[in-house]
Amino acid sequence: MEKRKFKVIIYLLAISTVAMLILQSYWLYSDFKLNREKNQANIRRVVMESLDQYSLISMSKLYKIEKKDSIAARQLAKTIQSLTQIYSDDSIQTKKGKNTVTFNINTTIDTLEESSSDTLQASSKVSVHKPEIMHKERLVVTEKAISEVIKKHFQANQITNPYQLSLKSVQQPRIWYTKDTLLFQKYNFIAVQGKAIDLNVIATVHVEDDMLGPLKSIFWTLLISLLIVLFIMYGLIYLIKQLREEKRMSEIKNDFISNMTHEFKTPISTVSLAIQSIRYFGIKDDPEKLDEYLGICLNELHRTSSMIERVLKLSHEKPFVIKLEEFSLSELLTTFHNQSKPVLTEFNGIMDIQNDSTVDLITADKVHFGNLLFNLLDNSIKYRKAEENPHILIRFYNGDKNLHMVFRDNGIGISKVYLHKIFENFFRVPTGNVHNAQGFGLGLSYVQKIIHLHNGSIKVHSEVSKGTTFIIEIPLIPNNK
C-alpha cells in the first residue's frame, strides 16, 4: 500500500470517528438538557402550587366567604373548599369575629382565564367574618407551616430534591400582593381590603438542581450509545492496527526480497567468476589452482544451500525439535573459537572468551547451542563499525540454577526504536538501499527460539555507536526433558 494512500485512509477514518462522536455527544446532551428543563419546570410548577395552596388555606381559615353572584367568588370559594379538604394545617393560627367586613373582587373573566377581548366584567360582594378588634388580629405565618405544604406537594409529585425556604416581610400592611403564583395570575386576585390581614410576606424557595435525575431518565440511551461508540472505536483501532501491520509486512517483504537477492548474487557471482577463470585463463591446466577454485565454488554452493535451508526451517509451520544431551561447555567453546578464526582474521577482529562457570557439564542441544554462538558472532561481524576493528567479549558464569552468558560487541549498535523488533522473523534495522550488511533478518529470531526451547531468556541492551550486549540465561537442569 502506498504511504500517501495509507495516510489518507487513516485521516478519513479519524475524521469520520470524531464527527460521529461529536454528533452522538450533541444528541445525548440535547436529550439530557431537555429532561433537565422538564424537571426544572415541574419543580417550579409544584413550588408555585404549594405557595398558592398555603395562601388559600390561610384565607379559608381567616374568612368565611358567603356565596354571591360573582363567578370569581364562587370559583374561589369552590377552590378553597376542595383544597382545604386535602391540605389542612393546624399551625396557621386565626381568630374568629362576629361582625363582617365587605370587600370587592374586580376581575375580568373568560372561562376562568385571562383574555384581552370580549370578556365579562363581574363585580360582586363577598361577606367575610370581621374580627372584633381588627388592628390587633394577625395571621401567624411560619416557615414550618409553608414547608409542610411544600413537602406534601413534593411527595405527591415524587420530587426528592432538597430545598430551602426563606420568608421576607414587605412594608405594605394593607396589601397582600403577589404576581408569581398561578392562582392569582389566573384570576387577577391582587388586592384585598382588610387591616387585619398580615400576609405581607415574600416566600422564597431554593430547590437544589438535580443532575442525577435527568441522567437516570436517559440511562439506557446513554448506555447503548456508549456501547456503540466503544464497538466502533474498537473496530476502528483494530482496522488501523491491521492496516499498519499490512504496511509493515509489505515493507519487510520488500526488504527481505531485496536482501535475499543480494545474498544469492554474491555466491552466484563468485562461482561464475571461478568457472570463467578455470575455462578461459588456463586454470584447468594447473591442478593446484584448479583444486583451489573448485573449493571456492563448493564453499559458495554450500553457503547458498545453507541460506536456503535456514529460510525453509524458519518459515516452516512445524516447531523446532531440540535434542538434549550432556556435553562439556569448555570443549564447545574451544571448537567455536577455532572455527571462528578465519572470520575474525578476515575482518581483523578480536574475540575474548571468558569461561567463569564452575559447572562444565551442561544439558542442552549441542548443535543448536553452537549455532546460537555462530549467529551472534555473525551478527556482530555484519554490524561492525567501518572505522574500527570488531572486538567481541563472551563470558560464561553460573548461578545456583542457571547458566549465564554475556555476549558483547563494539559495533554500530541498535536504536531503541527497533530493539523490541529485532527478534522478529525477517526483520532488519532499516538501512534504505544500502546493503553493506548481508542477511535475511533470521539470525536473532533463530537465537531467541533456541533459548526459549531451553526454557531460558534473552535480553538485549544496545546504544547507537557504542555496541550491543546480549544477556542469556538457560537452566542448568532443564525441566523439558
Q: What is the pLDDT of residue 444?
A: 87
What one-character-per-residue DSSP string does 235-294 give? Answer: HHHHHHHHHHHHHHHHHHHHHHHHHHHHHHHHHHHHHHHHHHHHHHSSGGG-HHHHHHHH
Q: Look at the alpha carbons of 384, 373, 445, 317 in this order and tell me if their dihedral is positive or negative.
A: positive
Most confident of 106-120, 407-421, 431-445: 407-421
Most confident of 6-20, 207-221, 236-250, 400-414: 400-414
Angle at 431 between CA 428 and CA 436, to 5 degrees: 90
Does 218 have pLDDT greater than 70? yes
Does 439 have pLDDT greater than 50? yes
Q: What is the pLDDT of residue 59?
A: 67
Average pLDDT (269-279) is 82
Q: What is the pLDDT of residue 94?
A: 35
The mean pLDDT of the chain is 72
Q: What is the pLDDT of residue 468?
A: 94
Which is higher by pLDDT, 183 or 38? 38
Burial of 213 (0-12, 13-18, 19+ CB in 10 A): middle
Q: Which of 104-113, 208-217, 232-241, 425-434 has the lowest mean pLDDT?
A: 104-113
- Percent of the chain surpassing pLDDT 70: 68
Does 73 have pLDDT greater than 70? no
Using pLDDT thresholds of 50, 70 and 90, give the confidence band for residue 1. low
Using pLDDT thresholds of 50, 70 and 90, give the confidence band for residue 398. very high
Position 478, amino acid: P
Does 425 have pLDDT greater than 90? no
Q: What is the pLDDT of residue 473?
A: 95
Average pLDDT (357-385) is 90
> For helices 287-315 and 219-280, what crossing angle results, to 10°?
170
Q: What is the pLDDT of residue 62?
A: 58
Which is higher by pLDDT, 311 or 186? 311
Q: What is the pLDDT of residue 166?
A: 72
Using pLDDT thresholds of 50, 70 and 90, give the confidence band for residue 469. very high
Question: Whole-structure pTM over 0.85, yes or no?
Answer: no
Q: What is the pLDDT of residue 93?
A: 37
Q: What is the pLDDT of residue 445?
A: 84
Q: What tens digit of pLDDT does each residue of 86-105 get?
A: 333 333 333 333 322 222 22
Q: What tens digit of pLDDT does each residue of 353-363 get?
A: 999 999 999 99
Burial 31-56 (b: 16+ CB within 10 A, else e): bbeebbeebeeebeebbbbbbbbbbb
Does 226 have pLDDT greater than 50? yes
Q: What is the pLDDT of residue 319?
A: 63
Q: What tens digit of pLDDT does each residue of 24-33 get?
A: 888 888 888 8
Q: What tens digit of pLDDT does each residue of 2-24 get?
A: 667 777 877 888 888 888 888 88
Residue 79 to residue 256: CA distance in whole angstroms? 93
Q: What tens digit of pLDDT does each residue of 128-182 get?
A: 344 433 333 455 667 787 788 888 888 888 887 777 777 766 554 433 333 333 3
The C-alpha cell that represents 279 in the structure block: 575455462
The domains located in the chain, with CATH, are 3-217 (no CATH), 219-315 (1.10.287.130), 325-475 (3.30.565.10)
Q: Look at the alpha carbons of 320, 324, 329, 333 in this order and tell me if their dihedral is positive or negative.
A: negative
